[in-house]
Chains A and B, each alone.
Chain A
């Protein structure tokens, strides 16, 4: 428990990805089985328990601590698990107690034995030091919140033993805590575990933005053209009676999409776009956003925001790996399979035709529906290749829109940018006399390092108010902001939400009074 607690304690305070990977890697190398395996479980899929841990702990606290002092402490600390960890009184008289192993705790709670839970918790807490108590309570209450995604934990395990994370992903879902077979293979003591048929994440194939010079090598007759839908790219993997939904980066986002998973009773790994579709019409990205980043979804959300996958490609069907086949062959298999199986809440993204560059431009110019982000060009003879290989897939995004905004607030960045004001909230003029600014968006990219230094300097010398890490500045600097789309939004004071805003240029030359008005932005809403 000691090593695990020390690891979590340091991860909580470590912003840098590379430093996190080092801390995790050191831990996995130095810690024996099964402790490290349970740690990996806690950091990835969680050590789920149905035991009433929270309630039992509060009952124990009532016996051990003055209720009023507990309340005052809880109010100050703001987190129950941490408050309990800090307040738990050391047993008296102090007696030497056997150290507690993470593996023992994990196996106990997985056993799910309700009887005597209070006594066991009490014994554990008595045997631990404050940081370990905190780690234990985080572990038991199912919310580590140490800023580590499942993907990062897997990356750390793989890299600690000289493997690539995709090797670990390939077999991940054939494995179970405490992952003894995984570590045996990583340490060269055992065979590679077999994940045949399990719904695991396969690294997807990604496209390059098209550049002018690419046109010299592109032969449209040998390309498939498809719409690039404005949702999120996902991989739907099903098999062995299980189904999982992965983001492009391999995070399991299935918990928020039971409607999609319920229909996935087949054996296939599919590539597509996750969308909200009502009566056959794709809803704006904003609607999909209501469904993202949720651990649970209520019935109302499921009804009001029905999720759907529009399929682009198939990686595996019925155990056969289609990835070596050319695109046109995979597509043929996907269409035939889809017709036979008819899986609910899916359809296949249509191909579109354009024989010449002019025809393509016309298509593109017409692609102004909110649901379409752009066009994809895919070579008909390309296999499905992990990563972003050159010369196979291209994306043509819709030309972005721009608006001249006024900088209103700046916030300190994190990690390497922590000494710089690097996150910018900007606004547009409102009112008949254009006297008031209303914030319309926030951006933290699109500028160079040297521009960041200049922005930082400008912000520090034009600050009007400070709120913790945020500074309000004089309305004196115009930012040309680039964005992909604009939609109505009830969540923002301005009534609009920008999609993917970033800084295009810093208009040092332009007086703030000449920046755009909110009306010019709302006029762009379709």
Chain B
């Protein structure tokens, strides 16, 4: 895009011990330990850490941080809507929808005619619980690579939800315990089930309740959802959503011979699903799959690609084949398994 005497991006944007630091703006993006000034892309705990002096994020992300972190959410919390430019130091920062979860944002940084986009986590397919990803043309695109291998091609959501409904019909005497990340994935699954015509109550593990209430407050209709603690029987034939860690663990003993389902992009690979003892793997992800990742690199028209958390090797390899400068960016504090 911009053909100027260009300084290397590393002179003003680089990883340090706290995360990705923008030198002329004096802020970190998703730092993993307390810093004076942070921009947070979304509310997942490996991105939204406690204890920063000042935080800039979307209003939804700040709401999530307040629920999850309480007073530790940060000293000074500044909400900004999508698309509104902010002058910070010598740079201009704009948050743009990332399509990952409610409130998730890409961070667009303009500096001396150069534009860098930090994607955070993102996906390209339709998600009824959040604003869709917007492509921003840029010079440097910093992308996640959670599913950065060509074997990862997510199935259409409706097909996966269909498999859950078939299993419910086949095993009406068993609870269907669906393991899912409590923020974002859980609520998306509920809405997908509703769209597929499932109108029974959906039962939630205690860890899912407050975030689901927030989603409902922010206008996302989840239908009849109830905490499992209010159930009067063993919930045979019902859908229960719990954190993945509760699958096959003590908590699940209260359920009727549960079918363990797990909704995640990892479920694409059988070995991963079997390792976790999952009976019904559902390939539903809040991250881009490989074709979408490649499509996004194309569409941003960025000449330089930095690849963070995930399978960087294959993405860097492919981006170079596509004629981009590409490097892996080792950022501390990211959870490979977060889904």
The residues of A with any CB-CB pair to B shorter than 8 Å are 12-15, 19, 22-23, 26, 65-66, 68-69, 72-73, 76-79, 82-83, 86-87, 130, 412, 414, 416, 418-419, 468
A115 CB to nearest chain B CB (Å):
31
Task: State which residues 255-274 of B face A: CB under 8 Å.
Answer: 257, 260, 268-271, 273-274
Find chain A residues with CB under 8 A from B278 CB: 13
- Residue of A13, A19, A419 touching B171 (CB-CB under 8 A): A19
Asked if B248 and A412 sit within 8 Å, CB to CB, the answer is: yes
Asked if A418 and B248 sit within 8 Å, CB to CB, the answer is: yes
Asked if A22 and B279 sit within 8 Å, CB to CB, the answer is: no
Cα separation A188 to B273 with both chains bound (whole Å): 41
Asked if A79 and B270 sit within 8 Å, CB to CB, the answer is: yes
A-B pairs with beta carbons under 8 Å apart, 29 shown: A12-B270, A12-B274, A13-B281, A19-B171, A65-B150, A66-B321, A68-B317, A69-B150, A69-B318, A72-B149, A72-B313, A73-B150, A76-B149, A76-B151, A76-B269, A77-B151, A79-B270, A83-B151, A86-B150, A86-B151, A87-B150, A87-B151, A414-B277, A418-B277, A419-B248, A419-B249, A419-B252, A419-B253, A468-B275
Find chain A residues with CB under 8 A from B271 CB: 77-79
Nearest-neighbor residue (CB-CB) of B249 within chain A = A419
Find chain B residues with CB under 8 A from A76 CB: 149, 151, 269, 311
- Residue of A13, A73, A419 touching B250 (CB-CB under 8 A): A419
Cα separation A303 to B245 with both chains bound (whole Å): 51
Task: State which residues 132-184 of B face A: CB under 8 Å.
Answer: 149-151, 153, 170-171
Find chain B residues with CB under 8 A from A68 CB: 317
B277-303 interface mask toward A, CB cutoff 8 Å, 1 = contact, 0 = none? 111110000000000000000000000
Find chain A residues with CB under 8 A from B130 CB: none
Cα separation A419 to B150 with both chains bound (whole Å): 34
Q: Is B314 an interface residue, CB under 8 A from the partner?
A: yes
Cα separation A241 to B271 with both chains bound (whole Å): 43
- Residue of A23, A72, A468 touching B314 (CB-CB under 8 A): A72
Asked if B269 and A77 sit within 8 Å, CB to CB, the answer is: yes
Asked if A69 and B314 sit within 8 Å, CB to CB, the answer is: yes
The residues of B with any CB-CB pair to A shorter than 8 Å are 149-151, 153, 170-171, 248-250, 252-253, 257, 260, 268-271, 273-275, 277-281, 311, 313-314, 317-318, 321
Binding site secondary structure of chain A: helix
Find chain A residues with CB under 8 A from B270 CB: 12, 79, 82
Nearest-neighbor residue (CB-CB) of B278 within chain A = A13
Find chain A residues with CB under 8 A from B313 CB: 72
Find chain A residues with CB under 8 A from B311 CB: 72, 76
Q: Besides A13-B280, A419-B250, 14 other CB < 8 A contacts?
A: A14-B279, A23-B170, A72-B311, A72-B317, A76-B149, A76-B151, A77-B269, A78-B271, A82-B269, A86-B268, A130-B153, A418-B248, A418-B277, A419-B253
Nearest-neighbor residue (CB-CB) of B252 within chain A = A419
B258 CB to nearest chain A CB (Å):
9
Cα separation A13 to B259 with both chains bound (whole Å): 10
A418 CB to nearest chain B CB (Å):
4
Find chain B residues with CB under 8 A from A87 CB: 150-151
A466 CB to nearest chain B CB (Å):
12
Nearest-neighbor residue (CB-CB) of B167 within chain A = A10
Cα separation A37 to B84 with both chains bound (whole Å): 64
Nearest-neighbor residue (CB-CB) of A414 within chain B = B277
B163 CB to nearest chain A CB (Å):
9
Find chain A residues with CB under 8 A from B153 CB: 86, 130
Nearest-neighbor residue (CB-CB) of A418 within chain B = B248
Cα separation A12 to B248 with both chains bound (whole Å): 17
Cα separation A483 to B268 with both chains bound (whole Å): 43
Find chain A residues with CB under 8 A from B150 CB: 65, 69, 73, 86-87
Which of A68, A82, A419 has the largest count of B CB atoms less than 10 A from its CB?
A419
Asked if A416 and B257 sit within 8 Å, CB to CB, the answer is: yes
Find chain B residues with CB under 8 A from A130 CB: 153
Find chain A residues with CB under 8 A from B260 CB: 418
Asked if B317 and A13 sit within 8 Å, CB to CB, the answer is: no
B82 CB to nearest chain A CB (Å):
34
Asked if B151 and A13 sit within 8 Å, CB to CB, the answer is: no
A358 CB to nearest chain B CB (Å):
52
Across chains A and B, which 8 residue pairs bring their CB atoms closest together, nearest first? A86-B151, A418-B248, A73-B151, A13-B279, A72-B314, A419-B248, A69-B150, A73-B149
B260 CB to nearest chain A CB (Å):
8
Asked if B249 and A22 sit within 8 Å, CB to CB, the answer is: no
Cα separation A168 to B238 with both chains bound (whole Å): 37
A448 CB to nearest chain B CB (Å):
17
Find chain A residues with CB under 8 A from B269 CB: 76-77, 82, 86
Cα separation A56 to B170 with both chains bound (whole Å): 39
Cα separation A83 to B150 with both chains bound (whole Å): 10
Cα separation A26 to B167 with both chains bound (whole Å): 13
B240 CB to nearest chain A CB (Å):
14
Find chain A residues with CB under 8 A from B170 CB: 22-23, 26
Cα separation A68 to B321 with both chains bound (whole Å): 12
Find chain B residues with CB under 8 A from A15 CB: 277, 279
Find chain B residues with CB under 8 A from A19 CB: 171
Cα separation A79 to B151 with both chains bound (whole Å): 12
Cα separation A15 to B170 with both chains bound (whole Å): 15
Cα separation A83 to B151 with both chains bound (whole Å): 7
Nearest-neighbor residue (CB-CB) of B148 within chain A = A72
A27 CB to nearest chain B CB (Å):
12
Nearest-neighbor residue (CB-CB) of B151 within chain A = A86
Cα separation A130 to B151 with both chains bound (whole Å): 10
Cα separation A78 to B277 with both chains bound (whole Å): 18
Find chain B residues with CB under 8 A from A69 CB: 149-150, 314, 317-318
